[in-house]
Structure 1
Amino acid sequence: MPEYPYKYILTSLFMLLILCISVPASAQDSAVNRLKEEIQDTRETVKQQKQELLKLTREERDMFGELAAIEDRITNVERELFRQEDELQRITVEEEAVRSEEKTLRVEHEVIVERLKSMITKLWPVHSRKLENRFGNLDDWQSADRNFVWLASLYRETRTELQKAQRKAEEISLNLRTQGELKLKAENKLAEINTTKDSLLEDKLDLLSGIRGIRSLKLTKEQEVKGLLETINKLNYRLKSLTSRKIQNFEGSLPRPCEGNTLVNFDLSAKPPVRGIGIKTDGNVDVKSIFWGKVVHNDTLRGFGRVVIIYHGYNYYSLYAYLAESFVKSGQEVEKDEVIGKTGYYPNLKETGLYFELRFHQKAVNPQEWLARK
């Protein structure tokens, strides 16, 4: 950052002191009272908004508690769902095994039936002949007894095989009925669990929707509170302005001279020393006076392009350099926030911007300690 030629600075400051005229205080009691009432009303509104924010925060916290409980229930239901699915799978596997056994038993049953048919085929002619002959053709009692024992044994075997086939058929039928009932019960239970899970998921979605709604309301309220607090700051500034126009009373709350990012910082220990700040701007933007005062310089200054210097009373000066154009003239009184020019090309930044200084007597002070934080 180039420095002012020392003699030129002294001359300029001396001229500023001569040209300077005090800025009269113009506080009005009625305006002050109105501002105080407006500040009080705004503070009451902020208080109400904060209470509503607190209420919304509590509702949000309660909803998160409900959401956590629902998620726990969903976890438990999912565990039960997995268990029930495993049970259904086990029943299905067992049912398949029973059906496989049924097929085997049916094959065995068919074998038994075929054997019975064969036995009956063999028995029936013998039985028919015996009925016709009434055992008259038997040679002796021993032969008759042997035939009788053989027939009785064949009948018993046939009856046993038939009973065995019937029992197997009954077992298969009972097992299939049991498996069917178990499967139906498991499927019903699975459907019930799925219904419960769907219901819990719907409750979860409703809660999430409610939480999003509350967060949206909270964000709106927070923005409103932020805006109200900014309004209070502005009103306090206006109130202070009506009751006092001493720039030293506004340290830390002066407005920035223009919109943009500060890329050059105040640093007296630098080589060469930096006695102000450099602000990069997006194109040629408005440059505003940071406080009430009188223009004591409006001309080009070697190394700083077009420069406007404003005297604010009590030996305080503000300097605005690298202006593309200025809208004021020397000797003109300006208001706080009054547009005094447009930013121009800032050589050190190689872009449009503003170099700004704040001085007390001839000593540069750090503007960043006087300007309000962004």
Structure 2
Amino acid sequence: MKRFFLVLLLFILIPTSVQALDDKEPLHETLQKEHERADDKELKVRELTKKAGRISTRLSDIEHDIGMLKKKISAQEKVLNEIKINEVKARKDHFALEKEKQRIALELSGLMKTLWPVHLQNIRARFEGVDSWDMFDRRFTWLSDIYDATQGKLEEARLNSERIARNLERQRLLEEEAATQLASINKNKDRLLGNRYALRKNLKKVRRQRENVEAELSDILSSIENLKYQLQSQKTKRFDLYKRTLPWPVQGHLVKGYNPKAKPPLRGLVIRASEGASVQSVFWGKVVHNDTLRGFGHVIIVYHGYDYYSLYAYLAETYVRNGQEVEKNEPLGSVGYNPKADGPGMYFELRFHQKPINPKLWLTAKK
């Protein structure tokens, strides 16, 4: 029995992590840090949302500019197409006039072949064969009219040809200017398309960052709720507030009660129970020992915070592990053979500040 309490004392003193259950300050500090982290994440979400909004606005402006440029490109392409059509027409007119010039030149050449001998004869004969002034006048006027008509056609063809040539040159310059403007507009459109692609890529990245931060914020808020629950649990799950209300660890019959003055002293309760009966935790806590102990069979010790412990001995099997947090009334194992009960049963003990206390003062009265 002495060795048992030495082992129990060892388990009480060693687990420093268990003592943290009594320390409220770290939990408050952790909650404060989580709130600060949540504030940081919320601020980052707002910043990312604003950034995404700015990018969306820029994208909207670019979409508008691209739409306007597309209209300009369409109009410029229409102008360029009309210029090309006019150029084709002008070239056709030019070719037609060139053919007309060639025809007039051929006619003039034939006419000159015909008139040249007459002209030479007139030079030699002067007034030979001219009977009267009227005849001379008619011959001269006829030749002059032919020369003038021929010369007029040639001059007209020349002027038309020059006009069409000027028109062709003007159409060429217009085409070059239209092509230059179209290339400039397309260049601006390509630049805007590149900017749009970069902005869309950046917007996708920002939205992904915002989703990640929102997920982190959700986890932090969940952690805050959990910490709040733990704080509330610390306030409501104080062992010392449940005196005379704790459930019995097993359904059975009390064989021997708490009697520290007996020889040997009895610092707990000996309870006889049916074979395989379930043994349950009397309060919320954490398993700090789950192993066999000579003279007490398999023993489970649960720490309930604020230096309160409960001990369950002579167990046939256990359902929990070391370090596991257990609920009130949660099954810990099943009863085994208890020599003190001379049959199936268990031994139950409560301790406060490493000292045994009377369990009957903490358990509900038996019906």
TM-score class, shorter:
0.5 to 0.7
- Which secondary structure state, in structure 2, belongs to the residue aligned with residue 135 of structure 1? coil
Distance (whole Å) between structure 1 residues aligned to residue 183 and residue 89 of structure 2: 25
Instruction: Give the aligned partner of residue 39 of structure 1.
Output: 31
The corresponding residue for 1:79 is: 71
Q: Does 1:133 align with 2:122?
A: no
Distance 2:171 2:326 in 1: 88
Classify 1:333/1:219 alpha carbon distance in 2 versus 1 (closer, same or farther; 3 Å): closer
Q: State the Cα distance separating 1:246 from its structure 2 match.
A: 7.2
Higher mean Cα deviation, 112-121 or 98-107?
98-107
How far 1:337 sits from its partner (Å)?
Answer: 6.7
For residue 81 of structure 1, report the CA deviation from its aligned partner: 1.2
Distance 1:331 1:110 in 2: 116
Gaps of 5+ in 2: 1-17, 240-246, 252-276, 285-315, 333-367
Give the secondary-structure state (helix, strand or coil) at the position aligned to 1:54.
Answer: helix
Post-superposition Cα deviations, 1:257-306, rounded to whole Å, max 9, x if no partner, equal xxxxxxxxxxxxxxxxxxxxxxxxxxxxxxxxxxxx99869xxxxxxxxx
* Distance in 1 of aligned mates of 2:320 and 2:216: 42
Equivalent residue for 1:105?
A: 97
Q: 1:151 aligns with which of 143, 147, 152?
A: 143
Question: C-alpha distance in 2, partners of 1:55/1:331?
Answer: 48
Q: Provide TM-score, normalisation by structure 2.
A: 0.60
2:228 maps to 1:236: yes
Aligned mates of 1:175, 1:328 — CA distance in 2: 110
Partner Cα separation in structure 1 for residue 183 and residue 25 of structure 2: 72
Question: What is aligned with 2:167?
Answer: 175
Which residue is equivalent to 1:213?
205
Larger radius of gyration: 2
2:325 to 336, 341, 348: 336
Choose 329-338 or 103-112, whichever is displaced more.
329-338
Q: Matched residues in 1 for 2:55 and 2:33: separation?
A: 33
In structure 2, the CA distance between the partners of 1:313 and 1:46, relative to structure 1 (3 Å rule), is same
Distance 2:249 2:175 in 1: 95
Q: Which has the higher contact order (CA 8 A, sep 6+)?
A: 1
Q: 1:39 is aligned with what amino acid?
A: L
Distance 1:93 1:337 in 2: 91
Equivalent residue runs for 1:262-277 within 5 Å: none
Cα displacement string for residues 183-224 of structure 1 (whole angstroms, at most 9, x for unaligned residues): 112111111111111111112112112211211211221122
Matched with 1:196 is 188
Same amino acid, percent of matched pairs = 26
- What displacement does 1:72 show? 1.1
Output the CA distance in 1 between the equivalents of 2:131 and 2:279. Answer: 157
Alpha-carbon deviation of 1:329? 2.5
Deviations 1:17-47, CA, capped at 9 Å, x for gaps: xxxxxxxxx8758631111111101111110
> 1:204/1:309 Cα in 2 relative to 1: closer, same or farther (>3 Å)?
farther
Query: How much has 1:78 moved relative to structure 2?
Result: 0.9
The code of the aligned residue for 2:39 comes to: K
Aligned equivalent of 1:121, options 102, 113, 118: 113
Return the TM-score normalized by structure 1.
Answer: 0.59
Amino acid aligned to 1:177: E
What SS does the corresponding residue of 2:325 show, helix, strand or coil? coil
Q: In the alignment, is the contact (CA less than 8 A) between 2:281 and 2:331 conserved in 1?
A: no
Matches within 5 A, 1:20-39: 31-39=23-31
Q: Is the 8 A contact 2:280 2:331 kept in 1?
A: no
RMSD: 3.6
**Structure 2 counterpart of 1:55:** 47
Match of 2:218 in 1: 226
Name the counterpart of 2:362: none
Q: What one-letter code is carried by the residue in structure 1 that aligns with 2:318?
A: K
Structure 1 residue 164: deviation in Å?
A: 1.0
| Alpha-carbon separation, structure 1, partners of 2:84 and 2:196 | 33
TM-superposed deviation, 1:311: 5.4
Q: 1:332 to 1:85 in 2, by over 3 A?
A: closer
Cα shift at 1:178? 1.7
Counterparts of 1:309 and 1:168 in 2: how far apart (Å)?
120
Greater CA deviation, 128-137 or 207-216? Answer: 128-137
Task: Assess if the C-alpha contact under 8 Å between 1:296 and 1:331 holds in 2.
Answer: no
Distance 1:55 1:27, change over 3 A: same
Equivalent in the alignment of 1:271: none
Give aligned pairs, total.
Answer: 252
Shift of 1:111: 1.4
Deviation at 1:68, TM superposition (A): 1.0
What pairs up with 1:279-294 in 2 under 5 angstroms? none
Give the Cα–Cα distance (whole angstroms) in 1 for the partners of residues 105 and 43 of structure 2: 89
The CA distance in 2 between the partners of 1:188 and 1:340, in whole Å, is: 88
Query: Larger deviation: 95-104 or 40-49?
Result: 95-104
In structure 2, the partner of 1:90 is 82
Cα contact 1:91–1:179 (8 A) shared by 2: yes
Q: Which residue of structure 2 lines up, in the alignment, with residue 250 of structure 1? A: none
CA distance in 2 between partners of 1:27 and 1:188 (Å): 83
Contact 1:81–1:194 under 8 Å retained in 2: yes
